Structure 1
Amino acid sequence: MVKISTLVAAMCPLIGTALGYANPGACSGTCVNTHDPSIIRRSDGTYFRFSTGGKIAVHTAPDITGPWTYKGAALPDGSKINLAGNDDLWAPEVVQIGNTYYLYYSVSTFGVQDSAIGVATSTSLDVNTWTDLGSTGVQSSSGKPYNAIDPNIINAGGTYLLTFGSFWKDIYQVAMKSPPTGVASGASSAQIAYDPTTTAEEGAFIFHYGNYYYLFYSKGQCCGYDTSKPAAGAEYKIMVCRSSSATGGFVDASGTSCTNGGGTVVLESHGNVYGPGGQGVYDDPSHGPILYYHYVDTTIGYADGQKQFGWNTIDFSSGWPVV
């Protein structure tokens, strides 16, 4: 006889909210005002958290749980990219390639396509060590099919791929040089995720685990909940599709293409957690694969400046990420 709990576990990726979700893991120190976090761990064991605002706010901690301490701005002079928003940088992505750290960031203003993705480098991650290199060449303006914000970089078999996009026609990808400071010669952008009904997809993050590349992204309204709360279910949530290739063919758990509205829910509003998104994934040496993100704690407040840092471990044993 098969246990009911076994059947439920097997169905978990498909039924999502029917079982509820684990609450965010412990967080101490500065856990508030953490939009679009990016987590990286230095070889000495220090965790760095980079986030939107404050010219890329930098916090450090001895563990993902904290205590998180503010260290300053990664780019205190803003970006050299000549666009509005170059002193209010968004959605950082930090990776290590060889002995160098690369910080990707967005220059834009809310609701427009006059946007660009920039990059800075450091050999230590510390504040006051970052050199801004300016634009990667990924840029958008009115009339483009995409908005050039929310960068994510992955090395897929020796090819660096930059995945990006927000609304318009959602999420795109382009091949980069090596090292990935600019677009590869002759490379063109390709759409890898799109919901033609809402177009409300952004914040892509590709994570390679086992035999698949998992495309995590945020869907729905991200911000302004204190002044314009969306209809139930239209707030931010974290979705996923997967593919055996980093460049596409992403489908959800039911087999629907991610370029045709497909997407399986990974984490959405539950209990006191509202509007989780702006996520990334990190294979932590102590905790295993973790999903990290920002969210509203409804017992604290809905304002953008009250967004909290959240994280949960991920179980990939079914072939789909379960929080």
Structure 2
Amino acid sequence: MKLHSVVWVIGTLQDIVSGYANPEACSGTCVNAHDPSVIRRSDGTYFRFSTGGKIAVHTAPDIMGPWTYKGAVLPSGSSIDLDGNQDLWAPEVALVGSAYYLYYSVSTFGVQNSAIGVATSSTMDVGSWKDLGSTGIRSSPGKPYNAIDPSLIIADGTYLLTFGSFWKDIHQVPLKNPPKTVASGASAYQLAYDPATTAEEGACVFKRGSYYYLFYSKGQCCGYDANRPPAGGEYKILVCRSTSATGGFVDARGNACSSGGGTVVLESHGYVYGPGGQGVYDDPNYGPILYYHYVDTRVGYADGQKRFRWNTISFSSGWPVV
């Protein structure tokens, strides 16, 4: 047997043992990519947005790369008057009509004084983004949610923004049309909650077939180099599903996502540690993909070493499988 065949067989067996395929390839700038958001422009250019650097922008001709740094979405920071408006988190980009909307978080680590802002662009190019400020989603001590980790979906003509981190986990609220601010009279409602840990965040809702799938991260996201959690306490990606985008999410065993339910989609395996901060994108070249950040245990555990990777996912069983 040729050497490359031996390597392929060993790699395949390792994937079967772990239960997960290894990440697909990434070239160019694939590090320091916390909370990525990916979209492909009509000319074939891929854009990747990530936490830090006032929302870092990278582009590539393919999801595999090579990724090149282009600059910041908001080089002057956010107009939202709140601590953290120069260190923006958790971007989420979506095409709405002919405009791109980028939602972002203004906060500082471990606090509930947070807000979700939005910027728009017709091209996504650096220098083209206009900051519109707050969406009206804001949190403070005493509220049941933290206003970070926004993600937009359009369901039956309604714009829904899913968000939340710790406290009482994942919430959602309708937005106006166009989706710049909260809809008149609307209030946030809970989609997912684990009372045992309250460590759920970074949710996104993805439609496939007759179901809406709620993907989210659970566990400790950061600081692995200084304070690594017990095995299994690190980030992992879970999912629940519903026939409605606005609630009733259950896991593969029928447990309610609002009461601690959740089916694991991807967790630590091999050299991949703490995958999360995910998004799901129906890529025109590869079909549905799950993209995320993780740390490579062969390299290091620091937050600045978080790497961008992705996998194709299959829904053939009715549940997403990497």
> What's the TM-score, normalizing by structure 2?
0.95
RMSD of aligned Cα (Å): 1.0
Distance in 2 between residues matched to 1:268 and 1:222, nearest whole Å: 12
What is the identity, as a one-letter code, of the residue corresponding to 1:70?
Y
What is the identity, as a one-letter code, of the residue corresponding to 2:55?
I
2:193 maps to what in 1? 194
Could you report, residue by residue, the CA deviation over 1:36-68 in whole angstroms, capped at 9, with x for unpaired residues?
Answer: 000010000000000000000000000000000
2:149 maps to what in 1? 150
- SS of structure 1 residue aligned to 2:205: strand
Report matched runs for 1:143-222 at 5 Å. 143-222=142-221
Report matched runs for 1:71-86 at 5 Å. 71-86=70-85
Report matched runs for 1:230-241 at 5 Å. 230-241=229-240
- SS of structure 2 residue aligned to 1:309: strand
2:5 maps to what in 1? none
What is the identity, as a one-letter code, of the residue corresponding to 1:69?
T
Distance in 1 between residues matched to 2:289 and 2:67, nearest whole Å: 17
Report matched runs for 1:61-72 at 5 Å. 61-72=60-71
1:137 matched to 2:130: no
What is the identity, as a one-letter code, of the residue corresponding to 2:126?
V
Preserved CA contact (<8 Å) 2:50 2:89: yes
Distance in 2 between residues matched to 1:146 and 1:29, nearest whole Å: 37
2:46 maps to what in 1? 47
2:127 maps to what in 1? 128
How far off its partner does 1:241 sit?
Answer: 0.2
Distance in 1 between residues matched to 2:102 and 2:315, nearest whole Å: 28
1:244 maps to what in 2? 243
Distance in 1 between residues matched to 2:157 and 2:130, nearest whole Å: 25
2:23 maps to what in 1? 24
- SS of structure 2 residue aligned to 1:305: helix
What is the identity, as a one-letter code, of the residue corresponding to 1:130?
W
How far off its partner does 1:20 sit?
Answer: 1.7
- SS of structure 1 residue aligned to 2:258: helix
Preserved CA contact (<8 Å) 2:149 2:165: yes
Distance in 1 between residues matched to 2:285 and 2:208, nearest whole Å: 17
What is the identity, as a one-letter code, of the residue corresponding to 2:80?
I
Distance in 2 between residues matched to 1:216 and 1:96, nearest whole Å: 20
How far off its partner does 1:81 sit?
Answer: 0.2
Could you report, residue by residue, the CA deviation over 1:96-154 in whole angstroms, capped at 9, with x for unpaired residues?
Answer: 11111001000000000000000000000000000000000000001111000000000
Consecutive unaligned residues of structure 2, counting only runs of 5 or more, are 1-15
- SS of structure 1 residue aligned to 2:220: coil
2:263 maps to what in 1? 264
- SS of structure 1 residue aligned to 2:182: coil
- SS of structure 2 residue aligned to 1:275: strand
What is the identity, as a one-letter code, of the residue corresponding to 1:62?
P
1:14 maps to what in 2? none
Runs of 4+ aligned structure 1 residues displaced above 3 Å come to: none
1:91 matched to 2:71: no
- SS of structure 2 residue aligned to 1:203: strand
Distance in 2 between residues matched to 1:159 and 1:97, nearest whole Å: 12
What is the identity, as a one-letter code, of the residue corresponding to 1:169?
K
How far off its partner does 1:18 sit?
Answer: 6.8
- SS of structure 2 residue aligned to 1:248: coil
1:106 maps to what in 2? 105
How far off its partner does 1:19 sit?
Answer: 5.0
How far off its partner does 1:286 sit?
Answer: 1.0
Consecutive unaligned residues of structure 1, counting only runs of 5 or more, are 1-16
Distance in 2 between residues matched to 1:158 and 1:30, nearest whole Å: 37
Preserved CA contact (<8 Å) 2:289 2:310: yes
What is the identity, as a one-letter code, of the residue corresponding to 1:262?
G
Preserved CA contact (<8 Å) 2:18 2:270: no
Distance in 2 between residues matched to 1:207 and 1:292, nearest whole Å: 13
2:312 maps to what in 1? 313
- SS of structure 2 residue aligned to 1:102: strand
Distance in 1 between residues matched to 2:225 and 2:69, nearest whole Å: 25
